[in-house]
C-alpha cells in the first residue's frame, strides 16, 4: 500500500529564516505530487504541483519554491520566511491517469508558525 | 466569486442524527466530485469519490451529485461523536486540479 510522509510535523521559525519541508511517498512510482497550504478556518490553497522529476508548476506567486529531486520526494522551500507564511502545509499525491484526474491522498501535514 | 462554495458551519447535531453537508460550484466543466474528512491538526482523508449525477453509498455515508444544479451533498446517517471533524468537498475538471470548498466543521454531541 502507499504511504506519504511529511516532516517535520511542527515547526516554529523566526521571520526572515529559511524553510525546508520534505515530503516522500512510498509504494508507488511516478506519482503526481502537490503542495497545499491551509490557513486557519480556510480551504486548501494549491501552491505547487509536479508531474515528474524536475517538473514544477507554481500556482501562486510568493516567496516559496518547490523542488522534486527524486521521483517520490517533494520539497518546499523558502529563503526568507514572512509572517504570512504561517499555516498548515500539506503534501499530496495522485496516480497518473490518462485524460482525467485521480483522487489525491494527503500526508499528515506540517504546522508552521512564523514569529 | 469562488468556484466552490461551502458553508463553514459549525454544524452541531446530536448523536444519531443525520448530518447534511453541501457544496455548490460554478464551472460546468467540473466532472469529478470528492468528499474529504479532516480531523483537527491532521491531513484530509478521502471519504467518497464520484463522477456522475445521482447517489453513491458507502456504509453510513451517501454522496449525492446534481450536475444540472451544480450542487453536491454528503449525508451521514446515525452520526457518532467520532464523526466530529471538518468535511471538505473537492471538485476537479479533466485536467486534474482540485478546487476545494472552505470546509464545514461538524460537531456531534453525545
Query: How confident is the model over A56-94, as pLDDT tens digits?
Result: 998 886 789 999 999 999 999 999 999 999 999 999 999
Q: What gap in Å lies between CA A107 and CA A55, rounded to an integer?
A: 21
Look at strands B11-14 and B104-109 and give their pairing.
Answer: parallel
CB of A9 within 8 Å of a chain B CB? The answer is: no
Write the DSSP symbol of residue A109: -
Q: What gap in Å lies between CA B102 and CA B46, rounded to an integer?
A: 16
Determine, for residues A44 and B100 on separate chains, whether the beta-carbon distance falls below 8 Å: yes
- HSE, CB side, 13 Å, CA atoms: give it for residue B109: 5
Quote the cell numbers at residue B57: 453509498
Average pLDDT of the residues in B46-56: 89
A101 interaction partners in chain B (CB closer than 8 Å):
32, 92-98
Q: Where are the beta strands (DSSP E) in B7-53?
A: 11-14, 19-25, 32-38, 45-50
B34 interaction partners in chain A (CB closer than 8 Å):
103
Check pLDDT > 70 for residue A37. yes
How far, in Å, are A7, A10, A81, A99 from residue B103 at the CA level?
A: 24, 22, 27, 28
Quote the percentage of chain B above a pLDDT of 90: 74
pLDDT at res. B53: 86
Strand order in the sheet with A3-7: A3-7, A19-26, A73-78, A64-70
Q: Where are the beta strands (DSSP E) in A8-109?
A: 10-13, 19-26, 32-38, 44-52, 55-58, 64-70, 73-78, 87-94, 105-106
Query: How confident is the model over B13-45, as pLDDT tens digits?
Result: 999 999 999 999 998 888 889 999 999 999 999
Would you call B81 helix, strand, or coil by DSSP? helix
Q: What gap in Å lies between CA A109 and CA A89, rounded to an integer?
A: 5
- Minimal CA separation from B77 to chain A, in Å: 24
- Minimal CA separation from A105 to chain B, in Å: 7
pLDDT at res. B92: 85
pLDDT band at B9 (very low <50, low <70, confident <90, very high): confident
pLDDT at res. A98: 53
pLDDT at res. B50: 87
Would you call B51 helix, strand, or coil by DSSP? coil
Determine, for residues A44 and B88 on separate chains, whether the beta-carbon distance falls below 8 Å: yes
pLDDT at res. A101: 59
CA torsion angle A8 A11 A14 A18 (round to 10): 20
Amino acid at each position: 500500500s502507499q504511504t506519504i510522509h511529511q516532516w517535520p510535523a511542527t515547526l516554529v521559525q523566526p521571520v526572515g529564516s529559511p524553510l525546508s519541508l520534505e515530503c516522500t511517498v512510498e509504494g508507488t512510482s511516478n506519482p503526481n505530487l502537490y503542495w497545499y497550504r491551509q490557513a486557519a478556518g480556510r480551504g486548501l490553497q494549491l501552491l505547487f504541483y509536479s508531474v515528474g522529476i524536475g517538473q514544477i508548476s507554481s500556482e501562486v506567486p510568493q516567496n516559496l519554491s518547490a523542488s522534486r529531486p527524486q521521483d517520490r520526494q517533494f520539497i518546499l522551500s523558502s529563503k526568507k520566511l514572512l509572517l504570512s507564511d504561517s499555516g498548515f502545509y500539506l503534501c499530496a499525491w495522485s496516480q497518473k491517469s490518462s485524460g482525467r484526474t485521480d483522487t489525491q491522498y494527503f500526508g499528515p501535514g506540517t504546522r508552521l508558525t512564523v514569529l | 466569486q469562488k468556484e466552490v462554495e461551502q458553508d463553514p458551519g459549525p454544524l452541531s447535531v446530536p448523536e444519531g442524527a443525520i448530518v447534511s453537508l453541501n457544496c455548490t460550484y460554478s464551472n460546468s466543466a467540473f466532472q469529478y466530485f470528492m468528499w474529504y474528512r479532516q480531523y483537527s491538526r491532521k491531513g484530509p482523508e478521502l471519504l467518497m469519490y464520484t463522477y456522475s449525477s445521482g447517489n453513491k453509498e458507502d456504509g453510513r455515508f451517501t454522496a449525492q451529485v446534481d450536475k444540472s444544479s451544480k450542487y453536491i451533498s454528503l449525508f451521514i446517517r446515525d452520526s457518532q461523536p467520532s464523526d466530529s471533524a471538518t468535511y471538505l468537498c473537492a471538485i476537479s475538471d479533466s485536467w486534474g486540479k482540485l478546487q476545494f470548498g472552505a470546509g464545514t466543521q461538524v460537531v456531534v454531541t453525545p
